[in-house]
Amino acid sequence: MVRQERAEATRDSVLRGAAGVFIRLGYANASLSEIIAESQVTKGALYFHFGSKEELARAVIDEGAARFDAKCELWLDRRTPALESLIGISSVTVDIGAHDVLVRATFRLLVEIGDYRGSGPATFDVWHDIFRELTSRAADEGDLRHDVDSSDIARFLLQMVSGVRLVAAATGTVRELSESMKSSWNMVLPVVVPESKVEYFRQFAARRLGTDH
């Protein structure tokens, strides 16, 4: 049991060290020697758990995506209005994307590794399915305009949420991510939400995406 716990602790150290290096240098420029130094483990310990840089990067994606999904689960309760859930998920992107090194690395690696996946299904496909389910339910709940297609809105909102995060990281403006996400919702809500409900959802987004995040 002690040996297993030690092995798990070593694996976690490698994942966190790798995530830090991937954030700082990107996938292409990260070397295993730098990851070993950052993780403070031996070369043998790293290779015991991961056979290559790609395998390690995909493990970081798996762990980061799992941590992100766990936070999003709080917003997937069907008792919560679906459009509120979508706004809530965007706030998770801001919160955990700023404070969790594994999630931050995941957002970067998904773009840089080449096929947008860890070791399992394509991550954006999974997220797209969630967004489609939520926008379909939002339409049923009367929170989308009748002249918009819920599937189109699902894709657009996923593009918006992931794109705002990507641009913030690329331009070094992650500290402004809350405000950028809130501004994006302010612009899109009048296009997709019945006029009578725009102000309510704008206020909800303002509360969830306050600049104190």
Q: How confident is the model over 101-148, as pLDDT tens digits? A: 999 999 999 999 888 889 888 899 999 999 999 999 999 999 999 999
Write the CB contacts of 105 (distance below 8 Å, at least 6 apart in sequence). 18, 19, 20, 22, 23, 60, 64
Distances (CA, A) of 22 to 53, 56, 66, 131: 11, 11, 18, 28
Q: Is 100 left (phi over 0), alpha (psi -120 to 50) or beta?
A: beta
d(CA 85, CA 24) in angstroms, rounded, equals 32
Tokens of 202: 């704008």
Q: Is the pLDDT of residue 22 over 80?
A: yes
Query: What helix, strand, coil percent values describe the chain, rounded to 5?
Result: 75, 0, 20
More confident residue, 11 or 3: 11
- Distance from C-alpha of 82 to C-alpha of 15, rounded to nearest angstrom: 34
Q: Which domains does the chain have, with CATH numbers?
A: 61-208 (1.10.357.10)
pLDDT at position 212: 44
pLDDT digits (tens, 9 = 90+) for 178-203: 999 999 999 999 999 999 999 999 99
Q: Determine the pLDDT at residue 114.
A: 84
Helix (H/G/I), strand (E/B), else coil: 198:
helix
| 8 A C-beta contact, residue 48 and residue 36 | no
The DSSP code for 116 is S
